[in-house]
Amino acid sequence: MSEFREPSSKTPRIDFHVHLGVYTFHHPWVTEWMKLAHPDGYEKYIERYHDPGAFEEFLSSEGVDYACVLAELSHITTGVCTNEQVRDFCRGRPRLISFCDVNPHIYTRPGEELQRLVENEGFRGLKLYPTYQHYYLNDPRIYPLYRVAEDLGVPVLIHTGSSVFRGSRLKYGDPLHLDDVAVDFPNLKIVMAHSGRGFWYDRAFFLSKLHPNVYMEIAGLPPGKLLDYFPEFARNTDKIIFGSDWPGAPWIRRNMEAIAKFSLPPGGADKILGGNAAKILGLE
């Protein structure tokens, strides 16, 4: 049986899916949902960790070496956390890895905007929200983003599957559309956030096995259900990445420890909890 290792381990512990607690704005239905995970003092909790130094201390207490911090420009469904907010939060802090968002409904030349954000603003990844922003993953409008991300070598984390938030449209979260993307951009590092949550666990698993450049990410999925969702989970440890979806899912260490107790091949837990992410982020 695998054992959880502290951050001093040779393999870093990486949380690939973290949001800022304080957005420019959250829709009320998002705030109410977030409070369910923090029944005692939600406002004080997120305000405390709005300070990046305090957040780094929190990561250390949870056994995390690095965290990917995600911008979000989902005006009609969840809210807005600007690229500038994430840039400033992560600036000068190597443990905090900034991911920008380029909403194709906002930018007429999204590829050029992504290139600017990576080359001039220091972003190290791209997060896409098709379920919230209403586009298919193989939409030609998104292809300039994929092309630039492939050329620059930055990973693309893509929401797949369901969402509880008002205005979300499930049809845009089908990971099958990433088959086109993986074929057309074979060197693009594609990470499926939530691994097709709800309808499409089987599709996400199959795509990650089929395409060398496609990875599963398990943020928001309870560890106790992972082996039900993915019966052959242990056969795919090279392609699975840990994420928490903090602050909506604040149990980072608990979830990592649960995964470390799975019956996995040697080194499998280390790969899931940080090794695979380190590889695609260039942290090795």
| Mean pLDDT of the 66-80 span | 97
116-119 long-range contacts (CB < 8 A, ≥24 apart) are 117/83, 118/148, 118/152, 118/154, 119/152
Which pair of structure tokens corresponds to residue 53? 């130094």
3-state secondary structure 261-276: CCCCCCCHHHHHHHHH
- Does 70 have pLDDT greater than 90? yes
pLDDT 10s digits, 201-244: 999 999 999 999 999 999 999 999 999 999 999 999 999 999 99
pLDDT band of 41, cuts 50, 70, 90: confident
Q: Which secondary structure element, helix H or strand E, spans residue 125, and what is its range?
A: strand 125-128
Whole-number percent of the chain with pLDDT over 90: 94
- Does 160 have pLDDT greater than 70? yes
Q: What is the pLDDT of residue 39?
A: 85
Closest CA to 96 of 178, 16, 193, 212: 16
pLDDT band of 3, cuts 50, 70, 90: very low
> With contact defined as beta carbons under 8 Å apart, do 14 and 273 qualify?
yes
The Cβ of residue 126 has, within 10 Å, a number of other Cβ atoms equal to 25
In the block, tokens 């089908």 appear at 174
Helix-strand-coil percent breakdown of the chain, rounded to 5?
45, 15, 40
> How wide is the angle at C-alpha 236 spanned by C-alphas 139 and 177, nearest 5°?
10
The mean pLDDT of the chain is: 95
pLDDT band of 9, cuts 50, 70, 90: low
CA distance 272 to 217: 9
Q: What is the pLDDT of residue 8?
A: 41
Q: What is the DSSP letter of 177?
A: G
Which pair of structure tokens corresponds to residue 215? 């990875």
CA distance 188 to 191: 10
| Mean pLDDT of the 11-39 span | 94
Whole-number percent of the chain with pLDDT over 70: 96
E strands of 138-189, at which residues?
156-161
Task: For the chain, report the end-to-end CA distance as a whole number of angstroms.
Answer: 25
Q: What is the pLDDT of residue 223?
A: 96
Whole-Å CA distances, 61 to 27, 40, 57, 111, 271: 30, 20, 6, 38, 21
pLDDT band of 7, cuts 50, 70, 90: very low
Please count the helices (runs of H) and the strands (runs of E) in the chain.
Answer: 13, 11
For 14-281, which CATH class? Answer: alpha beta
pLDDT band of 1, cuts 50, 70, 90: very low
| Mean pLDDT of the 102-127 span | 97
